[in-house]
Amino acid sequence: MSATPEILPTRAAEAVAARPTMLQLLLRNRLAVTGGSLLLLLLICAAFAPLIAHQNPNGIHPSVRLQPPSAQHWFGTDDFGRDMFSRVIYGSRVSLEVGALVVLFTSAAGILFGLVAGYFRTLDNVIMRVMDALMAIPPVLLAIAIMASLGPSVGNVVFSLTVGYTPQLARVLRSQVLVLREVAFTEAARAGGVGEGRIAWRHVLPNALSPVIVQSTVTFASAVLSEAALSFLGVGEPPTVPSWGNELNDGRPYMVTAPWLTLLPGLAIMICVLAVNLLGDGLRDVLDPRLRNT
Amino acid sequence: MANFLVRRVLSIIPVMLIVSLFVFLLIHITPGDPASYMLGSSATPAQVRELRIQLGLNQPMYQQFLVWFGAAIRGNLGESIFMGIPVTLAIWQRLEPTFLLTVLGVVFEVLIGVPAGIVAASRRNTWLDQTVMMLSLLGLSMPSFWLGLNLILLFGVKLRVLPVAGYIPLARSVWGAFRSLLMPAFSLGFINAALVARMTRSSTLEMLSQDFVRTARAKGLANSRVLWRHAFRNAMLPVLTAVGNSFALLLGGLVVTEQVFAIPGVGQLVINAVDQRDYPVIQGALLYIVTLYVIINIVVDLVYAAADPRIRFS
């Protein structure tokens, strides 16, 4: 019996610990940790590319063209004698940059359109019909068509993919906002005299963000895949940019005699997208408990 | 049902109108004059002037749109600049492989995705479930054209059981057409199958936790009967939507896949047109594919409404 007073405070401490922060939940989630670590690894590759890969990814050495992987060239060399290890490592920069920028811009545009259409209901019909129309065009096709007009560059790839992936985000956010604008705490804020703009920004938006964050991981993954497809088709970045898609395109004619040229950049794409997808699944579990285990 | 159909069909009018506007504007976002952009630097001023007149670029923009849209709605998508034939004819000539590839792709998608999802759901949290989910995650993470390249290497080059690339028209050999589309359709379908498997699994799991399933179990029905008669039928509704949505990925992936396997389809037409800046073809093909996608989704919605009365009356 004398132990009881000692147990009580521990129980209280446990109760506090039982409501962990979002980060703790994420760190406990196997999917998120695996995906996050992989992504971190890729980020390190991108940030410290010159330290990891000593050779110039665009350095042309005709004497060592199409060499299989060796101690000198870990991933072999391509038809210009360029070191594939360097090219794959540097490729992470392009993919991560495109993915991150597309997520940034689609989020900004999606939040703007979703909030304006869903909360203020001004232009709701116009905005959503435009989003419907954009969604009716397969994103890769839309991007190809836009790239045909704008010409190859990383910026244009980001722009064309942003146009294609914004509608999904705007739609997800709008449906959240439509519910949240009617719930009790927004009513309370309104009754308390808080301005509509402030309610939308400070009360509605933060509560609507969870699905947007999950959708963003999907956007990131799709953007990386689409970027690879665009440069594989020759309408992405200029051919000199060492991106994974360009490397696949360059290596394709030598697919049979030098399979490492198509195998390795493709694997790199897969690892990158897998990392984001794993992180996305983890985030979904943590942010939306209703969907847990499904 | 008729009411639903009418409403659904009417709802595509604004969408198609805006899509047309986008597609029309594509030609005008080129840097500089579209006509000289299309013809390249080697064109003479006279040729550029002629093309400007042919495309109506000397008219005000709204008038250009009205003329172009008016023609498009009547099925006239203009004439290809480089092939010298109507765009509709160019699409028609390349429709067969694309159509078959799409159908075969969806067949793979459903045949792989649905059973995989159901198996995973009914054996939840076992090694089978985890394997299926891991495979589908991998499928979601690889570029379909890269999968295609690897399939070519394996089945075309190493094992020599399937043609490496190219397409044999139906008229020449039905079996040959099927064989030449097997790998491209699989590489397209597999990616989508991953999506469908995940959707099937989660919606089957949701159904299995419903009251009516518990009731069915409680009255002593066999597990398999509960799964197939009660859970499966209801779980298929969201899957149907997923299949409809997957057409966006499928139709987009088509362009790349046709390029990888050298299939002379609509996707390849688009890429050739992009290379040559043949705008009437780019615009026409895009409009055509979007129309197809919109119609497919109407059909999916109709099937959905036929299967679920709640949709019809909402």
pLDDT higher than threshold 50 for residue A4: no
Mean pLDDT (whole number) for B244-270: 91
Distance CA A203, CA A211 (A): 16
- Distance (Å, whole) CA A171 – CA A118: 9
Query: Helices in chain A by DSSP H: which ranges?
Result: 4-17, 22-28, 30-47, 49-52, 84-115, 124-135, 139-150, 154-180, 184-191, 196-198, 205-232, 244-251, 260-287
A-chain residue closest to B17, CA distance = A133
C-alpha closest to that of B165 among B268, B26, B68, B291: B268
| DSSP count for chain B of H helices, then E strands | 15, 0
Q: Report CB contact under 8 Å: B143, A228.
A: yes
What average pLDDT score do residues A63-88 get? 88
Instruction: Give the three-state DSSP class for B207.
Output: helix
A48-68 pLDDT per residue, tens: 999 988 888 888 888 888 888
Question: Residue B25 pLDDT > 60, yes or no?
Answer: yes
Is residue A26 within 8 A of residue A20, CB to CB? The reply is: no
CB atoms inside a 10 Å sphere around CB A129: 17
Q: Give the model confidence (pLDDT) of B122-181 as tens digits.
A: 998 899 999 999 999 999 999 999 999 999 999 999 999 999 888 999 999 999 999 999
Min CA distance, A141 vs chain B (Å)? 5
The average pLDDT across B21-34 equals: 85
- State the pLDDT confidence band at B86, using cuts at 50, 70 and 90: very high
The DSSP bridge partners found for residue A83 are A77
Position A290 scores a pLDDT of: 59
What was the pLDDT predicted at A288?
72
What is residue A289's predicted lDDT score, i.e. its pLDDT? Answer: 62
pLDDT > 50? residue A293: no
- In this prediction, residue A3 carries a pLDDT of 45
pLDDT band at B314 (very low <50, low <70, confident <90, very high): low
Distance from CA of A294 to the nearest CA of B (A): 5
Interface touch B289/A141, C-beta < 8 Å: yes
Model confidence at A16, pLDDT cuts 50, 70, 90, reads: low
Q: Which of B10, B23, B149 to mutate to test the interface with A (most CBs of A within 10 A)?
A: B149
Q: Which of B181, B178, B154 is nearest to B165 (CA)?
A: B181
- Distance separating alpha carbons of residues B182 and B167, to the nearest angstrom: 11
Question: Which residue would you say has higher pLDDT here, B61 or A228?
Answer: A228
Kindly report, residue by residue over B180-201, the tens digit of the pLDDT: 999 999 999 999 999 999 999 9
* Stated pTM of the model: 0.90
- Structure confidence at residue A291 (pLDDT): 53
pLDDT at A27: 87
Return the biggest CA–CA distance within chain B: 84
> Mean pLDDT over residues B253-278, rounded?
92
Mean pLDDT of the residues in chain B: 89
**B122 burial level (CB within 10 Å; 0-12, 13-18, 19+):** buried
pLDDT of residue B190: 94
Residues 6+ apart with CB under 8 A from A230: A140, A143, A144, A147, A157, A160, A236, A245
Sorted by sequence, the CB contacts under 8 Å of residue B186 that are 6+ apart come out as B108, B151
Q: What is the pLDDT of residue B55?
A: 78
| Segment 50-109 of chain B within 8 Å of chain A by CB | none
Q: What is the mean pLDDT of chain A?
A: 88
- pLDDT score for A182: 87
Task: Give the pLDDT score at B313.
Answer: 64
Q: Inform me whether the pLDDT recorded for A14 exceeds 70.
A: no
Cα B182 from Cα B176, distance rounded (Å): 10
Can you say how many angstroms the Cα of residue A176 is from the centroid of all Cα atoms in its chain?
21
Which of A133, A271, A294 faces B202 most closely, judged by CB atoms? A294
> CB of B57 within 8 A of CB of B68?
no
The per-residue pLDDT for range A195-208, each reduced to its tens digit, is 888 999 998 999 88
Give the torsion through C-alpha atoms of A10, A15, A16, A17, to 10 deg. Answer: 80
Contact A158, A98 (CB under 8 A): yes
Q: Residue B164 in contact with residue B152, Cβ under 8 Å?
A: yes
* Chain B 132-191, residues with CB within 8 Å of chain A CB atoms: 137-138, 140-143, 145-146, 149-150, 152-153, 157
Percentage of residues in chain A with pLDDT exceeding 70?
91
Residues of B in contact with A227 (CB under 8 A): none
Q: What is the structure's pLDDT at A15?
A: 52
pLDDT digits (tens, 9 = 90+) for A231-249: 999 999 998 899 999 999 9
Q: Give φ, ψ of B59 to 5 degrees.
A: -90, 160
